[in-house]
Structure 1
Amino acid sequence: MRQIQTAPQSAGLIIILAALVAFGPLSIDMYLPSLTMITDDLGADIREIKQTITFFLVGFSVGMFFYGPLSDRFGRRKLLFTGMIVYIVATIGCIFAASGTELFIARLAQALGGASASVLARAIVRDLYSVQDSARILSWMHTITMIATLIAPILGSYLADFFGWRSIFIFLLIFAGLTALVSLINIKETLPEEARIESLPQALTSYFEILKNRRAIGYIGCMGMAFAGMFVYITASPFVYIEHFGVTSQHYALLFGLNIFSIMAMTIFNARQVRTLDPQKMIAFGATTVLGSSLFMLVVHLMIDIPLSLVVLGLFFFVGMTGLLSANCIAKLMGLFPKKQAGAAAGLAVSVQFGLGGLLSFIVSQSKSASPAAMIYLIACAGLLSFLAMMMTKEPATSN
């Protein structure tokens, strides 16, 4: 097939790819404010409805794990639209769900479909751009996604209050349909047949090649552990801020928005810096900042009863680095391998990222105390492991 004809600076393409990456955050964050309403309307157990979030993340992670290498064998476009069709059909299932079990099944299918958009948008970037340009484009995509993440809970809350919780899925259906249509028109196949992996078994075994590469493991671990630390914050902060520090829900929303702003600010900063700097230097900067901010919170916590202001300060710098690390680590990771393995590399990285996030989120959720201790300890561990993983990514010294 003919490769997509688009200028590397195409803002329209970046927006389309960002919309594809936003499938996951929108599908999760818009849904959160309506959990109680859904539970009451369907007469379901609250735990059953909460599990729809957990299994959405599981389905999303599993889907990405398979879409990546499959796209290296069969091409990006075909699998992208197959997944989007699954997402659209599953979203219709969510709209008409009459029980918690039906919603559970529809959400799992929605995740399996939506995973194609998230991972293949990243693989398409690698097909079209150099490693350095990929880091810049992924940064701009991440910024747009963060804007969607910031708006999603607010929009979901208003839709649920005025039109009922099913209107959230009607919105997601319209969003998916329009994104699919625009993508169908503007995105051609970016991995021509002659550049693909020759067989399906060979595509699936790409993971073993990736995992044998020390630097690849480092990039995946660096971005994954920083992302996991952010998930610890997302899971624990409502209880720490509201119950322990006594802030109002409105104040908490502002503090949460402050961290979204920090991610956006750092990804915009990164997009500008990688025009002239090697993304590896930005990875070192990000991992060092993640380590420093997490250890800062840990040391202060061990010395005194840490005040809210210092928790907010430490988290501002820690969470702010997650977008920067994600964009640069994925770009450098995909650059280690031929373009025909870019799907497997992106799929493995993002799948592990969500898996680690879910694991640390589950661990911190087991704490029965609203004290910031568990959150700080886990974020410090994540920061340290992210930094150590970054050390694995350094190129070996060459002897003269």
Structure 2
Amino acid sequence: MSDAVRDQGTGELRLLLTLGVLLAFASISTDLFLPALPAMAEALGAAEGELELVVSTYLLGFGAGQLLWGPVSDRFGRRGPIMAGLAVFALGSAGCALATEPWHVISWRVVQALGASAGVALARAMVRDLYDRDRAARVLSTLMTVMAVAPLLGPLVGAQILALASWQAIFWTLVAIGLGTLAAVAGLSESLPPEDRSEDAIGRSFRTYAELLGNRALMAHAGAIGFFYVGVFAVVAGGPFAFVTYHGLSPSAYALVFASGVFGLMIANMVNARLVTRVGSDRMLRGGAAGAALAGLFFVVVAGTDLFGVAGLILASFLYNALNGLITANAIAGALAKVTRGAGSASAVVGAIQYGSGMIGAALVGALADGTPLPMGAVACLGGLGCLGLTLVASRTARRDDKG
């Protein structure tokens, strides 16, 4: 193997690993401190359901932030905005660590989210810059397998940090992660060459959102992701209280429950990466959405009836989370395949809907909290059924557009 080929392979591996870390920031920012939520609520004197807002407000900032970074990256390139976002993320994480009141944490989580959103939205745009639809779906599945290490290890690492130090130490760890990733991004090449960048002023770039909202295939695919993430973040926000408070699991045991779902996600991602170029991303998406609807129905049954006890809830959570591996990558690839220019803005629309919907799911669980897992299961069921409905709409719309 020549040095040039070896260097090219090494460079692509470094690129994929860095993109995987960037895509993982959505989960890194939350999963690491999930086991500490009950301890944080007690230490800060939070009312019941109040600290669940650290998830929903984070998602608000995460969705809004992507709408900012998308047009900026279409105008100025991807790398610079990602680095700026990582700096903001580190600042927000430090603010959370220094918080002394529940509303301090909630406020700084918005800042943290605004920064983290740059990496997630623009990493997807970089994949769109470099690959066609089915190849992009395969790359995204591979990246999601890499990024799944974060939620797999996050709760476990968070529980250990909590055991050895304090919940504040978890946020200082996030500061270090943000700054380390910033250094890695600084060594990447720019994926959007100057000739492919938007020549419009930033204000005009933001007006392209109106055009994107009229793209039926884009919005149907984004809506399918959005409904699914209503359920995903219902489980994220409600899980610590359902498993630790209601069923009496320890934070470390809950971390293992959470990790099992991420392990299922990794398996589904590997299956998708292997099959998608042969089967097609549209068919893989339909299969994943049908599975999400069935898993959601099972979820609400076991949560409402306590069928099989905590084991039933663990199984429902595992199934629902695992199907993310068949849904998100294929839906993102399908959405961005219908956009010829402005991939950064289109990725931002998808991300805003994805995590804005997650905010709704987390907020619903907090608002409906009754001390049982039922609200979590009911919202997950809603998410799975809605995902299937919008996926079928997306498939029909894409076929009609291809014929027309």
The one-letter code matched in structure 2 to 1:396 is R
The one-letter code matched in structure 1 to 2:135 is D
The one-letter code matched in structure 2 to 1:88 is A
Secondary structure in 2 matching 1:206 = helix
Greater shift, 151-160 or 364-373, is seen at 364-373
**Shift in Å, 1:159:** 2.5
- After TM superposition, the structure 1 = structure 2 runs for residues 1-400 of structure 1, keeping only pairs within 5 Å, are 10-35=12-37, 44-47=44-47, 51-96=53-98, 103-185=105-187, 187-199=188-200, 200-241=202-243, 252-296=254-298, 306-308=307-309, 309-338=311-340, 340-394=341-395, 395-397=398-400
Q: For the Cα contact (< 8 Å) 1:8–1:129, is it kept in 2? A: no
Q: For the Cα contact (< 8 Å) 1:263–1:322, is it kept in 2? A: yes
Greater shift, 199-208 or 99-108, is seen at 99-108
Q: For the Cα contact (< 8 Å) 2:288–2:323, is it kept in 1? A: yes
Aligned-partner Cα distance in 1 for 2:10–2:394: 27
**Shift in Å, 1:393:** 1.5
Secondary structure in 2 matching 1:265 = helix
Greater shift, 215-224 or 286-295, is seen at 286-295
Aligned-partner Cα distance in 2 for 1:78–1:253: 35
**Shift in Å, 1:97:** 5.1
**Shift in Å, 1:39:** 6.5
Distance 1:305 1:360, change over 3 A: same
Distance 1:313 1:177, change over 3 A: closer
Aligned-partner Cα distance in 1 for 2:216–2:385: 18
Secondary structure in 2 matching 1:274 = helix
**Shift in Å, 1:6:** 5.5
Aligned-partner Cα distance in 1 for 2:39–2:380: 32
Aligned-partner Cα distance in 2 for 1:49–1:313: 26
The one-letter code matched in structure 1 to 2:153 is I
The one-letter code matched in structure 1 to 2:114 is L
Greater shift, 197-206 or 100-109, is seen at 100-109
Aligned-partner Cα distance in 2 for 1:84–1:152: 19
**Shift in Å, 1:7:** 5.7
Aligned-partner Cα distance in 2 for 1:88–1:326: 27
Q: For the Cα contact (< 8 Å) 2:302–2:308, is it kept in 1? A: no
Aligned-partner Cα distance in 1 for 2:97–2:374: 40
Equivalent residues, number: 391
1:238-295 Cα offsets, whole Å, 9 max, x none, are 4444566666666544433321211111011111112323111111111111123333
Secondary structure in 2 matching 1:46 = coil
Distance 1:8 1:296, change over 3 A: farther
Aligned-partner Cα distance in 2 for 1:371–1:38: 20
With the length of structure 2 as denominator, give the TM-score of the two structures: 0.85
Greater shift, 191-200 or 154-163, is seen at 154-163
Distance 1:64 1:277, change over 3 A: same
Secondary structure in 2 matching 1:10 = helix
**Shift in Å, 1:225:** 1.0
Q: For the Cα contact (< 8 Å) 1:214–1:392, is it kept in 2? A: no
**Shift in Å, 1:64:** 1.2
**Shift in Å, 1:63:** 0.7
Q: For the Cα contact (< 8 Å) 1:330–1:349, is it kept in 2? A: yes
With the length of structure 1 as denominator, give the TM-score of the two structures: 0.86
Aligned-partner Cα distance in 2 for 1:325–1:72: 26
1:22-53 Cα offsets, whole Å, 9 max, x none, are 22322222233445665677xx4425766444
Distance 1:109 1:256, change over 3 A: closer
CA RMSD of the aligned region, Å? 3.1
The one-letter code matched in structure 1 to 2:142 is W
Aligned-partner Cα distance in 2 for 1:292–1:386: 11
% identical aligned pairs: 29
1:211-230 Cα offsets, whole Å, 9 max, x none, are 21221121111111112112
The one-letter code matched in structure 1 to 2:149 is I
The one-letter code matched in structure 1 to 2:190 is E
Distance 1:38 1:393, change over 3 A: closer
Aligned-partner Cα distance in 2 for 1:213–1:36: 43
Q: For the Cα contact (< 8 Å) 2:52–2:366, is it kept in 1? A: no
Distance 1:295 1:140, change over 3 A: same
Q: For the Cα contact (< 8 Å) 1:64–1:348, is it kept in 2? A: yes
The equivalent of 2:3 in structure 1 is none
Q: For the Cα contact (< 8 Å) 1:223–1:322, is it kept in 2? A: no
Q: For the Cα contact (< 8 Å) 1:36–1:46, is it kept in 2? A: no
**Shift in Å, 1:327:** 0.8
Q: For the Cα contact (< 8 Å) 1:242–1:248, is it kept in 2? A: yes
Aligned-partner Cα distance in 1 for 2:38–2:346: 38
Secondary structure in 2 matching 1:122 = helix
Aligned-partner Cα distance in 1 for 2:330–2:290: 14
Q: For the Cα contact (< 8 Å) 1:223–1:325, is it kept in 2? A: yes
Distance 1:95 1:250, change over 3 A: closer
Distance 1:191 1:255, change over 3 A: same
Unpaired runs of 5+ residues, structure 2, are 1-6
